[in-house]
Chain A
Amino acid sequence: MTGIPLVALVGNPNAGKSALFNALTGARQKIGNYPGVTVERHAGRLALADGRPVELIDLPGAYSLDPSSPDEEVTRDVVTGAQQGERLPDALVVVIDAANLENHLRFTLQLIALGLPIVVALNMVDLATRDGLELDPDTLARELGVPVVPTVAVRRRGIEELKEAIDGSVTGANIRAIDPGRGDGDEYDTLLNTERARTIARRTIVSETPSRRLNQRIDSVALHPLFGPLLLAGLLFVMFQAVFAWSEAPVGWIEAGQGWLTATADNLLPEGYFRSFIIDGVINGVGSVVVFLPQILILFFFILLLEATGYMTRAAFLMDRLMARFGLSGASFIPLLSSFACAIPGIMATRTIADPKDRLTTILIAPLMTCSARLPVYAIIIAAFIPNSSVGPGIGLQGLVLFGLYISGIVGAMIAALVLRRTVAKGAAASFIMEMPKYQLPLLRDLALGLWQRAWIFLKRAGTIIFVTTIVLWGLLSFPQAPEDSPLSQTEYSIAGRVADGLHVVMAPIGFNEEISLALIPAMAAREVAVSALATTYSIDESDEEQAEQSLTQQLQGQWSLPTALAFLAWFVFAPQCLSTIAVTRRETNSWRWPAFMLAYLFALAYLAAGITYWTAVGFGL
């Protein structure tokens, strides 16, 4: 990596940094983590006009060099050369929103004072013009003493010029004019910077006409006391509806592909351990998880879209008051909504919450949002046990049960928040101050890139954690082989069966059978593994061909009682069955205390909920 110049993109939140990063690097990006913290490190290569490469990193958005969040801390540490695992950049590209000059210039002045070569990207000049603002980039360049390039990142405008300016700053061709307007005083002095930022902004603005109120017109609907919440509820409804409706076809293709692979392997391979390993372990194990990729992507598509258009902060605004009742703020709404896709990005998104107690509470309740990994579990149980009947026009009983499970998670989370805020996360009431960016039509290519990155992370997970656990489970289930005359089934005879025996003692009071106890062990790796584990367990026990033809749904119907199935659903609403979530909590809270607490309280809730469900159902004679 040495020898290639390193350039960092810095700027206020909502300056369009990420779009600019995409425009400069294209799809050649690498997402990693900074050591010790979960702040994502986005790096990419950009090629200068003559083909020389430059390594570009996209730093988290910040308002100043005086950090209020772990994100801003990384930004400060990188630009001052204090970040572990990152060398001091050779140059900075400061991204500022043309329509927000005065505010963004304050941070720019702080950055210039650091003394690194700097190029300013005057971004979103088109929106500024739409807003009735005419700017003179040359004046700004003169005032700041650094090159200024007007850009429109989402439309890929000004990118070549920006590359040229970057070339100049990394080769040292840009001689920095010493700014006579600034003495040796404290460069971090906010007041002084504010004053200077205001003056420079005034000089740069050529003309200013009252804004064309497109933004305000949208907001007058989106934030309307009546239509606003209706619109939000409608959007959420469409989003969850789409997760099921749009995924039907692609799920069918994946299942067809899986069926074809199974049939092919069945024909090609000789009967024996190896065939059982390939079909039961690899194809069915991994396939039962990959089949949920379409739903996860649809959910992420909506979340990325809501974020990129600028609507997400409006949702936070509308929800703030409601969240305040439970001791949280609208800022928690965004991470919690993301947690419906997956708690991991959700927990990582809590970094924008300034208050530490507020943030801790949000992290602790994030796993209660029904993440997409629970869908496979819910879907299979509902399909097997809840009749596909109608309870009203357009409302199916199966859909209603699924809706109920989502609601149980949300209600559980709200009650948990209320209790946590009065006990372990006691502190001042949460606050809410949030910038609401201008609405923007996102570029499809940027959305597709974000979606591709999510898909890749999921497939990597399926290919590694899920693959390995499925295989280990297959091994534990297949050995030692039960002798022909054994009264026990293969599962009961195997190593896994004997471990599950012990666990079953604890789980039996809440109605869980041996197979469930068994499936819960590998499901610690990831919830969706519960499905593949059940599939593997039942498929290994198949002695005769006829039974093997049965689907997992039919197997479950034959072997589980209704109260057991309902208890199993209730368990998964609360159970913290995902090691990645625990790991991310450990990193985000920087101690083992909170992940341990999270495990304990969620398992206790899950056990209670499953127990109550089971015995209530039994009591009603179900």
Chain B
Amino acid sequence: MGNIAGLIGISIGAVLINNFVLSRFIGLCPFFGVSKKLSSATGMGMAVIFVMGLASSFTWLINSFILQPYHVEYLQTIVFILVIAALVQLVEMALQKYSPSLYEALGIYLPLITTNCAVLGVAIINTGLNQFTGAPFTFIESVVNGIMSGIGFMFALILMAGIREKLELADVPELLDGLPIVFITAGLMALAFLGFSGLNFFS
């Protein structure tokens, strides 16, 4: 049970407390780029969840069975980038084949996941210590952390897209129209998410 409680802790931590976009400020490029429409935000979020989950498991395996035994942890950045890039390519090809409409909707942002620091970020965080258990991440924990971080990313993306769709109709001062008002909105959202850092069930 303690294991499940730990996983729930990781999930809440990844989605709300340490939300990638709004608390860690990682992966901001797609956050501003793909949050114009709710439908493409959902698609992008799904792609990120998928890539993050896959990347977490692969990078954890590579880290614990190849990098750590040979004491070459310093290679993790380049190896992880390699793995993530290949994964994104794979996802892109699969999307183009099986879901052309989603491929259209994501457009140029799909290759952007390749260099999305959120995906690399979750892989690197997984190599560190689990803040709830104080021990290194297990395989299950790192996969859950990856998927939940992706869900947190999608959550922020969808919130932003919902706000931006409403914002289209708002009477925004000319100087702030477009990206500036979105930056301000993102700042306010981050401020709101600061409230979640008070959530502390497990320590």
Say whether A and B bind each other. no
